[in-house]
Structure 1
Amino acid sequence: MYRVTTVGNYNLVLSNIMQAQRAQIEAGNRVATQRNGSNLKEFSRDAEILTAMRSVDARLSGYLEQNTTIADKLTTQDFSLTQLGDAASAAKKAIEEAIATGRTDTLMQEMQAQFQIGVAAMNAQYNGKYMFAGGKIDTRPVTAEDLSDLTDPATPLISDFFANDDFITEHKVDDATTVKTGILASNLGTAMLEAFKTMQAFHEDPATSFDGTLSDAQRTFLESQLAVWDSVASDVIDTTAHNGMMQARVDDVKADLVTRQNSLKGMIGGIVDADMPTATVELEKATLALNASSQVFITLRDSSLLSVLK
């Protein structure tokens, strides 16, 4: 036969109170933090998979941060390439206008201006580093400053004016994709500087100097140069288009990474985040249970033999 004692009843009620307090604290923490726990110990059943998912999330965040930087650099490169292409187009236009008007008074001044624009584009920087210098990011890749530099006997080769090396920058934009984002000034500008040198050498010849009315010899020469400048501009356009393709590829990878990370965060949230309606109900139930256990304790205290004898 089960024996009912005052001590036994007290122990049972106190045990119920303690259980209700623990349940209330746990439910209160879930409501306050909106989390099912605060450390991996509290997610022991899912700790291994949670650790793996957080590791993947950190890797995706690293790729996203890097891709943002790469996209910014490619945008800056696009601006410089567009500037270089515009310089080539403007040089060709100056030749066309000289042929059309029969005057060459300002032709070489225009050539000098476009030469300087082109050199500035090839010497463009991103975050203080020369973009088209290969691995020599602290060295200006194009050293020529004036058209007359190109015809200096001390530097007979166009390659003498390029200080870049052959290193092509590559970036791993996700686990499976690597893109080449580097462009070398020597690849960009060799044909252009050759064309400028040809113009300058022709101008420096006293017999053919551009300083007034267009002669037949000058007309023939300038007409032959139109195809040269067409090719120069076309090559720059092709490089600009390739840079645009790299931009699009990086943007596509970035969008995919964002989608993957959002999905992963949803999976992590399914483990870590508390179900707030359920947590709120559990808190209310725990509070009610605690109040009920406390009331039983008070009733038990007031109904003891000692209270009756008093």
Structure 2
Amino acid sequence: MGMRVATFAASDRLLQAALKVQAKQAEATLQQASGQISDNYGGLGNKAGSVVSLQSSVSMSKSYAEAANTASTRVEAMYDAVDSIIDQITSMKATLSSFSATSSGTDELQVTAEEMLESLASLMNTQLGGRYLFAGSAVDRPPIDLDSLASATSPSSADTSYYQGDDAVTAVKVSSEQTVSYGVTADNENFEKALRALSLVASGATDSDALTEASGLLDEAISGLATVQTRLSLNASALKTAISDQENYQDFAGDLATSLSGVDVAVVAAKMSAYETQLQAAYAAIGNIASLKLSSYLS
């Protein structure tokens, strides 16, 4: 039966109201499925700016954490290399002590020193990710060139002519306000002393004075490199703290952004139930209006 003109206006108003409720119900359904207020920033209203800012800061925080993590990996590799150097020159120190006691095996001692000199140079030329770690900012070239190291004679003097890097201090920005400097260069006095001691022995200077000087240089190098390791440990600790701080911030900012852009699923479920009730009532009312007849009141 067609709708009478007298009831059309009331039915149309109810229908429009029902369509609005239906649209809200559809929006709530999407929210319940995604857990988000809207699938675009426009739907967040005045919260959009805050959410965008938080998401941007989280991205920046991840960049800082990644840079700090890369630096931490480099520091760890440097620490391990220094540790190996200490082990080797400690062994050489014991060999010198033994040689002083026996006064034999000159050629063997010289060969041992030559081999260890090459080994230490290799450790100081350690690379990671295509970067030479002990070269300062000159990361594209090996910091140690033994061909440039003159054979030492006793009494010797400091000589860093072997060093091919620069004196730049490596640093990484770990936050908008903090930069962590880290590492050590191969011209460090303790590296130099170790190389010079080995050069003395490798050059064939095995007299008592030369061996005493070489042994003393190794002692100083061992003690000094232990201090270098301590500094590297402090560098590693600072970087670890920076990474932890950034990760904590990411969790905080991420949760805050989610709270601003997310929905309370329980609240949405309650709204959907209310919308369903409203729709049923609206469509029932429309049906009742459409079925009205004058005879219903005249009978």
Q: TM-score, normalised by structure 1?
A: 0.83
Aligned residue type for 2:163: F
Q: State whether residues 6 and 304 of structure 1, in contact with CA within 8 Å, keep that contact through their aligned partners in structure 2.
A: no
Q: State whether residues 90 and 114 of structure 1, in contact with CA within 8 Å, keep that contact through their aligned partners in structure 2.
A: no
Q: Which moved more, 1:41-50 or 1:230-239?
A: 41-50
Find runs of 4+ consecutive structure 1 residues off by over 4 angstroms: 304-308
The Cα of 1:151 is off from its aligned counterpart by 2.0
Secondary structure, counterpart of 2:9 in structure 1: helix
Aligned residue type for 2:275: A
Q: How does 1:103-182 map to 2 (within 5 A)?
A: 103-104=104-105, 106-144=108-146, 150-151=150-151, 158-182=159-183
The Cα of 1:88 is off from its aligned counterpart by 1.8
Secondary structure, counterpart of 1:171 in structure 2: strand
Secondary structure, counterpart of 1:69 in structure 2: helix
The Cα of 1:159 is off from its aligned counterpart by 2.8
The Cα of 1:152 is off from its aligned counterpart by 8.9
In structure 1, C-alpha distance between the alignment counterparts of 2:42 and 2:216, rounded to whole Å: 73
Q: Which moved more, 1:103-112 or 1:58-67?
A: 103-112
Aligned residue type for 1:136: A
Q: Does the alignment pair 1:254 with 2:243? A: yes
Q: How does 1:77-92 map to 2 (within 5 A)?
A: 77-92=78-93
Closer, same or farther: CA 70–110 of 1 in aligned 2, 3 Å:
same
Closer, same or farther: CA 283–145 of 1 in aligned 2, 3 Å:
farther
Q: Which residue of 2 aligns with 1:297?
A: 286
Q: Which residue of 1 aligns with 2:9?
A: 8
Q: State whether residues 83 and 117 of structure 1, in contact with CA within 8 Å, keep that contact through their aligned partners in structure 2.
A: no
Secondary structure, counterpart of 2:105 in structure 1: coil
Q: State whether residues 14 and 286 of structure 2, in contact with CA within 8 Å, keep that contact through their aligned partners in structure 1.
A: yes
Q: State whether residues 134 and 165 of structure 1, in contact with CA within 8 Å, keep that contact through their aligned partners in structure 2.
A: yes
RMSD of the TM alignment (CA)?
2.7
Secondary structure, counterpart of 1:133 in structure 2: coil
Q: Which residue of 2 aligns with 1:267?
A: 256
In structure 1, C-alpha distance between the alignment counterparts of 2:83 and 2:9, rounded to whole Å: 89
Question: What 5-or-longer segments of structure 1 have no aligned partner?
Answer: 209-217
Q: What are the Cα deviations for residues 144-194 of structure 1, in whole angstroms up to 9, with x where unaligned?
A: 169xx64299xx983332211222211111122211124211125222222
Q: Does the alignment pair 1:240 with 2:241? A: no
Closer, same or farther: CA 9–84 of 1 in aligned 2, 3 Å:
same
In structure 2, C-alpha distance between the alignment counterparts of 1:131 and 1:222, rounded to whole Å: 31
The Cα of 1:64 is off from its aligned counterpart by 1.2
Closer, same or farther: CA 193–306 of 1 in aligned 2, 3 Å:
farther
The Cα of 1:55 is off from its aligned counterpart by 2.5
In structure 2, C-alpha distance between the alignment counterparts of 1:305 and 1:37, rounded to whole Å: 48
Q: What are the Cα deviations for residues 50-72 of structure 1, in whole angstroms up to 9, with x where unaligned?
A: 23222322221111121111111
Q: What are the Cα deviations for residues 182-207 of structure 1, in whole angstroms up to 9, with x where unaligned?
A: 42111252222221222233x25xxx
In structure 1, C-alpha distance between the alignment counterparts of 2:147 and 2:127, rounded to whole Å: 17
Secondary structure, counterpart of 2:179 in structure 1: strand
In structure 2, C-alpha distance between the alignment counterparts of 1:62 and 1:303, rounded to whole Å: 69
Aligned residue type for 1:230: D
Q: Which residue of 2 aligns with 1:33?
A: 34
Aligned residue type for 2:151: T
In structure 2, C-alpha distance between the alignment counterparts of 1:104 and 1:291, rounded to whole Å: 104
Q: Which residue of 1 aligns with 2:198?
A: 196
In structure 2, C-alpha distance between the alignment counterparts of 1:256 and 1:157, rounded to whole Å: 42
Closer, same or farther: CA 145–303 of 1 in aligned 2, 3 Å:
farther
Question: What 5-or-longer segments of structure 2 have no aligned partner?
Answer: none
The match for 2:214 among 209, 215, 225 is: 225
